[in-house]
A and B are shown apart, each in its own frame.
Chain A
Amino acid sequence: MSRRDTTPTSWPLPAFATVSNFLDESQVNGLLDWVFANQNAFRPAEIVDDHASAGGLVSPSFRIASTLRDIGPERATIERRLWAALPTLERETGCKSGSDTLELELAAHGDGAHYRPHLDISYGPGRRPIGASNGQDRVLSAVYYFYREPKGFSGGALRLYRFGARPAEANGDPSNWVDVEPHRNSLVAFPSFALHEVLNVDCPSGSFENFRFALNCWFCRTL
């Protein structure tokens, strides 16, 4: 082995995969129609809680967004696309998922939305695995970005930190991270154990139709 618990700068940046034009335009519009029709069903987003016995925590200082688990009539199509893309995502991220289940969640990001540095899995002694099914962990994360045009927000990039970085260390030297812009109709994948963040979103109109939308996807398996 070469490194363990050393300074963050000695660890590599995570490799990530980007797929442009992930869905057909009609499917993008179908997703937009769905989120607009279901605006009232979105709920304040929870954060990963390593040890909670049930449910999650809402912590606005850590995460501001709203989420919806029901992704509507495009679910089957999207799941097919995701499974078809998985070999490419695994190759480009270097992360062989061994996944057999998929967890999906819609997220809406309005003015001031953010998600401070976090991992998509729970970790540490006494952790409670979170995934598509009981006892499963998220292995490979993917975010599909979509929004209405003309674009009504700015910001909201995905920031990926060097492996081994702890949330408290996630600042300072810009060489310790890479930012990925949330381009419309693109899918970005990265290892679920890579520390990452959603940077602040500016949406001056405050209108839900102008929000930055994401479909959070997690390929899961039992470790």
Chain B
Amino acid sequence: MKAFAYANAKTEAGVHEAVGKGYRIKAAGIDLLDLQKERVESTDKIVSILGVSALKGIRETEKGIEIGALTTLAELVESAVVDAKCRALADSVRNAASPQLRSVATVGGNICQRPRCWYFRSKDHECLKKGGGTCFAVEGDNTYHALYGRGPCHIVHASNVATALVALGGEVDAATAKIGRTIPASEFFVTPDRNMYGENALAEGELVRAIRIPKNVEKAAYVDFKEKQSFDWPLASCCAAKVGGKWNVVLGAAAPVPWQAKKAAEILDGASAITHAVAEAAADAALEGAAPMSRNAWRLKLVRAAVRRAVLIADGKEIDA
């Protein structure tokens, strides 16, 4: 790891001041320090925001729930408020990574983490995301790469929280030194054709302050499938949620952003009741527009299963007919 200057901020103003001097923001550092160790990043100034107490805590507000960016995944999973109002959000990380990591990794860091693509993570592969001319996944080992989106970069978004956040109609509260803003989650995550060098809409040095979940979540469930049951990323995941009378079906580990399966949602919106047949139809519809790569078409079966189960569980049904 390259040596870097390290600062601790205690206030948001302190964070912005450091950012103004060229410091990179670090929360728990799970991802950033990995990238530094892998020499994919060679940042020479890092500011820790862990001391900024305003970014901590889970609050119920008039509009719903606000979860501070520095809330750890373990706190999210253990929160009674989250459990009562949007358990699917907690389910997305209930088994993520390892207990050690969940006890330090933050919600803000989770949604901002860089892709797990093994070409992106290799300093020896100068891929599109790092300014090179090739997406190595196209002719390489793309087993875990995108099933939707058609590139040109074929990563899948690494955050489980992101999948749930979009499905639950959430938003991201962010701020620069000058101005704060609220970004709908569906616009927060952006595809490589809009931002090749990042995975979200944040401006340089913009700080994620919190995520918000609206109070009109009626039904929701998150399902994912992993090869390993400990410390693994999903092969496929789905968060299905009914928010303000409308269904969202969002696929994780499927595309460079949480992927909205709009056809599937339309089927659910048009159904008078969620039956097994309706869930199957929605699952089939979720596969429309898929563009799997040379080694990963088999994962579409898992996508289908994830949608089917998420819809049924959200509606309170057994997954087996």
Q: Bound pair: A and B? A: no
- What is A's interface to B at a CB cutoff of 8 Å? none
- What is B's interface to A at a CB cutoff of 8 Å? none
